[in-house]
Structure 1
Amino acid sequence: MRFGAAFLVCLGLACLGLAGCAAPPSQGGGGIVSMNPCADATLLELVPPSRIAAISHYSQAPDSTSIPLDVARRFRGNNGTAEEVIGLKPDLVIASSFTAPSTREAFARAGLKVLYLGIPPSIADSKAQVTELAAALGTPAKGAALNARIDAAMAAARWTGPKAPALLWIGGNLVTGGQTLLDDLMTTTGFSNQAAHYGLTHTGHLPMERVIADPPRVMLAPEGAGHDSDSRAAILRKRAIAETGLKVTQAQFARQLVNCGGPVIPAALARLAEIRRQVR
């Protein structure tokens, strides 16, 4: 899920420290089990590794993680099945609001404490989710500290001049539209979302013909990472721009920055602000 999806300066010194001191995976019985890859990123900010029994298997894949792979792979992964999670006997399960009803019912029958988190559509909603998760973990001060970092990053990246129309490709021909966290990040840093201009909300596939007919000023894409379909799409975009002579600035925006909010936000804002400063 994306608001997301694979690292990062965004995790700051706290996560860099985790890379060298993460505890061995729990063998079951207590601890926190996260089935939510975006919760994984925030979880690492809020609790010590010893409290984490397992994280989502998505965080251990390059195209869907929002934490450094070397950190993620120090923890036990889980595939999100009810049987697997219940077998770990966790103190707390962090799951997605899209969790299947049958899985929810299985957790309830097992008497598990579960926190279901949705996909935040804005920076403010992401901060509220950090606060909610920190409260559930008993670490409200760390949640407040993370939100303060997000506020500082927003202040540093905020653009007050004219906005540049931009498309943010998530992968292949999939773009982020309006009413999303990425849309809020783009607007904050001086871009207007061209996908929203086309009428797209959330995420959707966008044919290149539409882009050529009404091009943005900037195109952001996770070039050089992900599946072969991403590389093919990137090649076709570059070829189309070259052949039509469109004045479109192309810039790389790492796939790991499109997947989640929380601790990913500062790095995403910094990268977007950097690109915006380069666009006249």
Structure 2
Amino acid sequence: MRRGAILLVLLLGGCASPPSGGGGIVSTNPCVDAVLVRILPASRIAAISHYSQDPSATSIPLDVARRFRATAGTAEEVIALHPDLVIASTYTPPATQAAYARAGLKTLLLGIPDSIAESQAQVTQIADAVGAPAGGMRINAEIDRAVTRWSRKTGPSPSALLYISGDLATGGSTLLNEMMTRVGFRNAAATYGLSHTGTLSAETIVTRPPAVVIASERASRGIALRHRLLPRTPQAVFPRVLINCGGPTIPPALERLAFIRAGL
């Protein structure tokens, strides 16, 4: 009798135990993370991207990012969470996308916005997909106010180079390029034959330096060399956390760029 009772308790206990994971939103895209933490309660976010917990890749404060579970974006990790929705990048490997489909997961794949308008449209898309349209409208209203406040319509347009990392400078047709021009800069990348984001060494620009060089605060060989070869060229800091994404990052990024422009 006693043995049978113990067995029955164990069986009932096993039946009562819920499966690991289940429900919520999983994001494997750090730029999506930045939107989700602004518009959803934490209980609805099953996991965020591991990039958001990396100081060199995040667009949200690390103390906020570390409150959430993070995944490396592998199919096995994500499928095990049984999410209601997976939001990922269009660069997600086809094999991973196929695994999501086989598991019956609903997915939303997002590209990289090249303008403020495209970024706002993406915010709306994310907010609608997770059932929080009002949150998306709040973020976009903040962006509209920032664009109105920091756009410069008159005066000269000094040349500027914005380095994303090391010798990698942002070119035209990018979100960063639009923000630079909005606050009154002229992106000097084209001056050196760079039509898209690409490598631009200090040796290349030394004969015709821009009015200002803008780069993240991370130390690198490129930054050190530019300081040595361009001692008279102002070099401003643009925090890495403002470089990676659009959406809610746009207002502080515009403010920082406008501050740099005003200081020339």
TM over 0.5, yes or no? Answer: yes
In 2, the alpha carbon distance for the partners of 1:199 and 1:250 equals 21
Map 1:207-226 → 2, pairs under 5 A:
207-223=201-217, 225=218
For the 8 Å contact 2:119–2:246, the answer to whether it is kept is: yes
Percent identical pairs in the alignment equals 59
Q: Residue 197 of structure 1: CA displacement?
A: 3.1
Instruction: Specify which of 192, 200, 203 is matched with residue 206 of structure 1.
Output: 200
Q: Look up the match of 2:263.
A: 278
Using structure 2 for the length normalisation, give the TM-score: 0.90
Q: Which has the larger radius of gyration?
A: 2
The alignment yields a C-alpha RMSD, in angstroms, of: 1.1
In 2, the alpha carbon distance for the partners of 1:86 and 1:236 equals 46
Q: Look up the match of 2:4.
A: none
- 1:86 equivalent to 2:79? Answer yes
What secondary structure, in the 3-state scheme, does the structure 2 residue paired with 1:170 have? strand
Amino acid at match of 1:117: L
Q: Look up the match of 1:131.
A: 124
Give the number of the structure with larger relative contact order, counting CA–CA contacts within 8 Å between residues 6 or more apart: 1
Q: Residue 250 of structure 1: CA displacement?
A: 1.1
Q: Residue 200 of structure 1: CA displacement?
A: 2.1
Map 1:113-128 → 2, pairs under 5 A:
113-128=106-121
Instruction: Specify which of 217, 232, 241 is matched with residue 256 of structure 1.
Output: 241
Instruction: Specify which of 48, 52, 56 is matched with residue 45 of structure 2.
Output: 52
User: 5+ residue gaps in structure 1?
Assistant: 1-26
Q: Look up the match of 2:149.
A: 156
User: 5+ residue gaps in structure 2?
Assistant: 1-19
For the 8 Å contact 1:176–1:201, the answer to whether it is kept is: no
Q: Look up the match of 1:237.
A: 226
For the 8 Å contact 2:30–2:51, the answer to whether it is kept is: yes
What secondary structure, in the 3-state scheme, does the structure 1 residue paired with 2:180 have? helix
Q: Residue 215 of structure 1: CA displacement?
A: 1.3
Aligned length: 244
User: How has the CA–CA distance of structure 1 residues 201 and 97 changed in structure 2, closer, same or farther, with 3 Å as cutoff?
Assistant: farther
In 1, the alpha carbon distance for the partners of 2:250 and 2:140 equals 10
Instruction: Specify which of 29, 42, 56 is matched with residue 36 of structure 1.
Output: 29
What secondary structure, in the 3-state scheme, does the structure 2 residue paired with 1:53 have? strand
